Amino acid sequence: MNRQEHFGYLSINQSISPEMQALLLPYRSLPPNELLTPVNEILQLINQHWDHTVRYAEDIHEPSDCFQRKNGSCRDLSWMMITMLRSLGIPARFVSGYAFNPELGEGHELHAWVEFIAPGAGWVGVDPSAGIFTNEAYIPVAASKDPKKTLPVYGSYRGGVSSRLETEVKIIEL
C-alpha cells in the first residue's frame, strides 16, 4: 500500500518491543488480497492472551507497556492492535463510541475499538476487547489516527477555575 495515500494511518510514533516484533513475524509477508485471516488471528491472540480491564483514568498506555503487562482497557488494547497492524503495513485507526448491550439497561459507557482498511471493503471494525468484528451494535462517535483526538472533551484551562463534566447516555433499541 502506498504510504502517501493513507495520511498517517500507517504512522507508528512509539517503539515496538522485540517481543511484539517476534509475535508479528509470521505476518510480515502478507499477500495484499489476504488481510482478513491475519487480522482475525491477531484479534484472537489479543482477546485470548490479554485481559480486558476497566480503567477510568484518562490516559492510554503505550502499546509496548500493554503488551508486556498482558492487560489493558479497551483503549489500551485497541491502541496496541493499531500499532501491530500499522507495523504490518495495514492502515488502522482508533474509534471511540458505544457498544450497545441490551443487558446493561440504560447504563452505557464509552468504548474503543479498531478499524482497518480492507481493499474493496473500506474501513472494517474489530474489537480486541471482545475478540469480534464489529456489527450494528457498535455506535461510532469519533475516529482518528490519533486516539487523543477521539476524547469526548479535549482542551485545557488556566487560572483559578475548575471544571466538571457530567454525561448521561441513553441507547434505545428500536
Supply the range of the domain harboring residue 104. 8-146
Return the minimum-mean-pLDDT range out of 62-71, 123-132, 144-153.
Answer: 144-153
Q: List Cβ neighbours of 125 (8 Å cut-off, separation of 6 or more).
A: 95, 113, 114, 115, 133, 134, 138, 140
Q: What percentage of the chain has pLDDT greater than the value 90?
A: 51
pTM of the model: 0.85
pLDDT score of 42: 97
CA of 138: how far to CAs of 25, 32, 101, 126, in Å? 31, 27, 9, 10
> Is residue 154 in a domain?
no
Q: Examine residue 132 and state whether it is found in any structural domain, yes or no.
A: yes
Using pLDDT thresholds of 50, 70 and 90, give the confidence band for residue 155: low
pLDDT for position 1: 47
Cβ neighbours for 152, distance < 8 A, ≥ 6 positions apart: 96, 110, 141, 165, 167
pLDDT band at 25 (very low <50, low <70, confident <90, very high): very high
138 part of a folded domain = yes
The reported pLDDT for the residue numbered 114 is 98
- Average pLDDT of the segment spanning 16-45: 89
Q: Is 112 among the domain residues? A: yes
Q: Is residue 90 part of a domain?
A: yes
Here the CATH number for the domain that contains residue 94 is 3.10.620.30
Does residue 121 sit within a domain? yes
- Name the domain count of the chain: 1
| pLDDT tens-digit map of 75-129 | 999 999 999 999 999 999 999 999 887 665 555 678 999 999 998 889 999 999 9
Residue 163 maps to a domain: no
**CA atoms lying within 13 Å on the CB side of residue 41:** 11
